[in-house]
Amino acid sequence: MTVAPVTLAALVVATLIVALLPIGLYRLLRKRAALDRRDAIVGIAAYTLFATLLERGLYALLLGQPAAVAWLSKPVAFAVSGALIAALFEETGRYLGLRFAAKRYGPSAGGGRGLGYGLGFGGAQAWFAGVVVLAQWTYLAWLANRGALNEQLSTMPPDLALRIQVMLATMSASSISVSVLERVAAFLFQVVLSMWMWRGVQARKRWILPLLIVVHPLIDLPPILYGAGTIPFESMVALYLLLAVGFALGLIKQCRRLAAQAAG
């Protein structure tokens, strides 16, 4: 099998967009919003620890339980459970990371810490959940066009190898565009949530953590509704677009306010 050149090109472009978005935004806003790179580093570390190591550790435990495996084998149940587990781990990590930054580096006026932290936290998610995945698909598509895919898949279980081949065969520039839209919306969502969380931490509001745990699954709502057959594919794309635009407008408003504070 081979992958259409336009599809391979779309994969390369998608990987670059998702990879460069957090880096470019940080460089653009670093001076304007007086960002501290230490906040971004703490955000990266918090996401890596809680959303990558601890969350995956929980899944490893669940997959060792037959009852849990049977439950997670249902697409809707898996999506809902995944959204709730992600909300619990990511928001706890976000909260503890911001508390650590405030204690270690001292208080920070305004929302600059929340923005810098969010760019690190959301950027880590963009790379782990977006760049790595897209780069893998790019590599597999390149192997397919070189006639070396079967050799690469020969060490995998037959069912998994067949699934990968089917996904490559049905992949298109439009489906890749939806994946990019999803990643961009998720990244912006993470930045906005970090700014909200920082406001709560600054004001010593204990309810901010449970509130954001409840709000967090909002970003997973479109695929859950689509997987349940509640909405068509086009509606899922429209929801992602609305979320991305809404988060972008909110972020622009906050960045302008921070830039004005830094200039004043």
The model's pLDDT over 211-247, given as tens digits with 9 standing for 90+, comes to 999 999 988 888 888 877 888 888 888 888 898 898 8
What pLDDT, on the 0 to 100 scale, is given for residue 109? 62
Residues whose CB falls within 8 Å of the CB of residue 41, separated by 6 or more in sequence, listed in order: 120
- Full-model pTM: 0.92
Calculate Rg over the CA atoms of the chain.
Answer: 20
Count of Cβ atoms closer than 10 Å to residue 49 Cβ: 15
Q: What is the pLDDT of residues 23-36, one digit of tens each?
A: 999 999 998 888 99
Integer Cα distance of 69 and 65 in angstroms: 6
E strand or H helix at 120: helix 112-125
- Cα-Cα-Cα-Cα dihedral of 140, 144, 147, 148, to 10°? 10
* 88-134 residue pLDDT tens: 999 999 999 999 999 999 877 667 899 999 999 999 999 999 999 99
Q: Report the C-alpha dihedral over residues 239, 10, 51, 72, rounded to 10 degrees.
A: 70
State the residue range of the domain holding 51: 5-263
Structural domain count, the chain = 1
